[in-house]
Structure 1
Amino acid sequence: MLQFHHRIDLQRTMKGALSKMKQGAYAFRYAEAVPFLRLDSIGWQYTDDPGYGHHGMTRPDRGHVIFQYTLSGEGKLRYGGETWSVPPGSGILVTVPGDYRYYWEKDSGAPWEFLWINMAGEDAARLAERIRERHGPVVRLSPRSRAIRRGWELYRTVSEDRVTDAVELSTQAYGFLVSMLEQEAADAPAPDLPAPLRKATRLMKERFREPLGLEEIAAHSGVSAAYLCRLFQSRLGVSPLEYMRRRRVEAAVTLLRRTDESVSRIGELCGFESPSYFGKVFRQYLGLSPRQFRNDTNDHPYETLFLE
């Protein structure tokens, strides 16, 4: 039997309005088949029932993917001949059917509290398989990771906003699964950047047109150039100069589409030291020259690009 024992403190995890969410479970049944990943059900629950457990060979929801993330207490997963603990900050990711069983043991000493998401469809199964190849059946995820924040946002959309539109829920479910494939997703922190990194990225976004050097950016940020490079690599996965190039290419894309300025002038306005260098960098990111991009509105109809 599921019982409500205590409210988890979501203030540190989600902040603001999400900390006011209530426990619940929600399911969706659509009259017509959905030709893409479908959110089947979602819930935030507790159990202290020694009989609680699910076996992958006996569950009726064949073809579904189950993600169950521990908030407090601890669950167990028997998978591949091994027994895995599922403590807070970790979640199981399994596909139905499968030779596994997840359950709660009374000896664990505390009720098992979890957020669970049940998804259906071939896309869900394919993404889940890729995630397990990278992280195994028990995925460690910080409560502030992008994936868990998206999981809670999906729960809020259902429980608070009462959204039932299949496309909207599918879009969020895709985002949730894809975020688990991010490099180092298991340890990814929230995008709360250290102060020096915030100063550096703000400066480059505001002054990308200027010939800023690494030393100048580091001095503005209050750290050494070497330390700033380490911060960029560890938190953003790129060097400061790579970050700057991406911002310049983004700006160039917009100017190529929204203005009649010459290609060489746009390169100059975006901080590139020469037309040839502008063309070289632009081609590295988009696979074609600035002039080709400007003229090819069929295959490249966008006027805003985000390079991440």
Structure 2
Amino acid sequence: MLKIKEGFKGERLISLPLFAIEKFKKDELGKELYLTNIGYFPNAEYHYCRREAANSADYILIYCVKGEGWLEYNGKKLKVAEDQFFIIPQGMSHAYGSSKGKPWFIYWIHFNGKKAGYFSKGFDIPQDMPYNSQSRFKNKIDLFEEIFSTLQSESSTEQMSYATSVFFHFLGIIKCSNSGKKESEAIKESSIIDTSLKFMRENLHKHLSLRNMAEHVNLSVSYFSRIFIAQIGTSPSKYLAQLRMEKACHYLEETEMKVNQISPLVGFDDPLYFSRLFTNYLKLSPTQYRENRNRTLFFRTTTQTAHHTMAI
């Protein structure tokens, strides 16, 4: 497949001169944050870039304003949708590129400084660009365009100071919006998982697919799975299997029902398949489990009776 690093029709690039960057880094503002490169790639079909850790000296912000792309980082390949952004930390191997058939349009900035890590924390996976109704820059693209227009004519300390201040504003918006969003999302996700667990327990007798469970809480399968694992520590399917086996144990302990009567009550039409899963899960067949349980109860009852007789 064709791979292109740059050279797209309508692209814009500004690479600040090294001498200007070094001079600005001595400025009070430049010590905290400074830009090295900024660009815009429209309709970036076949766009692809890979960097090893040794060649990743800057933090890299990419904002996808249209189309789709992907980010490969920390051993995972993640989809980047329209109006999403991410920031790659410095010193990390990574790759990213445009999606086939739906090429992305991206604004990007390479930056560094003492505050770069602070503003980048938590943004190393693609996420939605927040909207701040209080900002005079309603559209985040305006901020990029402001930086472009400031730096395209010259790279004096004054121009770089203003461009950096605009970028500070941009980072401040996404940082503050993300803090409030994380707290509200955590509460929302906890409620979603509670609803999911209740749904599972009430429908153990039904055939529940991962899609069924995700649709019940109006989420995509991938997002539902991700927040479920984060909060419960295992996948929805594994947790559902655990609930089914626990319910089966209850029936084996508390009723005289046969295995072929219990299996449909915990979501299995085939008693043999149910028995295999039960045996794999508990290392005992349903019959062995019941016999062991009865033997334990008999021993406990006999022991208690003997103690009572001796006391008399």
TM-score of the two chains, using structure 2 as the length reference: 0.45
Task: Name the larger-Rg structure.
Answer: 2
